[in-house]
């Protein structure tokens, strides 16, 4: 019920209905992959869509962290993923991040609540303080 209320608010608060394109059909997008780099941590972030990316449905991203020598990053890292839609000034639901193995994570519950430009923030923390961040821009 809470999710329905949030979606209704987004429909009313952000202009035209994001559920439909001009032809009245659900929008879909093609899968994309990316490689990003955290300079201070000397870690590359390789992302692979396991499901999606979808608008209005759950997407999942496999994330592989690699050290400067090209091997999987084995050190402990406080790592988070955040979704943000800069053009609308809001994000989405919190992303669930599950550690699969050293340096390998699965981001699930990735919900893009409307079509448009999104930033996916990959964040490294030192305790509670944000240490480093890199963004992956995605047009849906």
Domains of the chain: 35-139 (2.60.40.1930)
Q: Is 3 helix (H, G, I), strand (E, B) or coil?
A: helix
Q: Is the pLDDT of residue 14 over 80?
A: no
As a whole-number percent, the residues of the chain with pLDDT over 90 amount to 58
Measure the CA–CA gap between 38 and 66, rounded to whole angstroms. Answer: 10
As a whole-number percent, the residues of the chain with pLDDT over 70 amount to 76
Q: Is 2 helix (H, G, I), strand (E, B) or coil?
A: helix
Q: Is the pLDDT of residue 118 over 70?
A: yes
Q: Is the pLDDT of residue 110 over 50?
A: yes
> 107 CB contacts (<8 Å, ≥6 apart)?
60, 61, 62, 63, 81, 95, 96, 97, 98
Q: Is the pLDDT of residue 17 over 70?
A: no
Please answer whether residues 72 and 64 qualify as being in contact, where contact means their C-beta atoms are separated by less than 8 angstroms: yes
pTM of the model: 0.74
Q: Is the pLDDT of residue 25 over 60?
A: no
């Amino acid at each position: 019920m809470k999710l329905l209320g949030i979606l209704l608010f987004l429909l009313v608060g952000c202009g035209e209905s994001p559920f439909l394109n001009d032809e009245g059909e659900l929008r879909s997008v093609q899968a994309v992959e990316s490689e990003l780099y955290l300079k201070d941590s000397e870690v590359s972030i390789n992302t692979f869509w396991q499901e999606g990316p979808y608008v209005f449905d759950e997407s999942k991203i496999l994330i592989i962290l690699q050290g400067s020598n090209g091997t999987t990053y084995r050190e402990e890292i406080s790592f988070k993923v955040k979704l943000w839609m800069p053009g609308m000034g809001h994000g989405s639901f919190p992303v669930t991040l599950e550690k699969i193995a050293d340096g390998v994570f699965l981001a699930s519950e990735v919900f893009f609540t409307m079509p448009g430009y999104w930033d996916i923030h990959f964040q490294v923390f030192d305790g509670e303080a944000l240490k480093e961040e890199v963004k992956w821009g995605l047009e849906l």
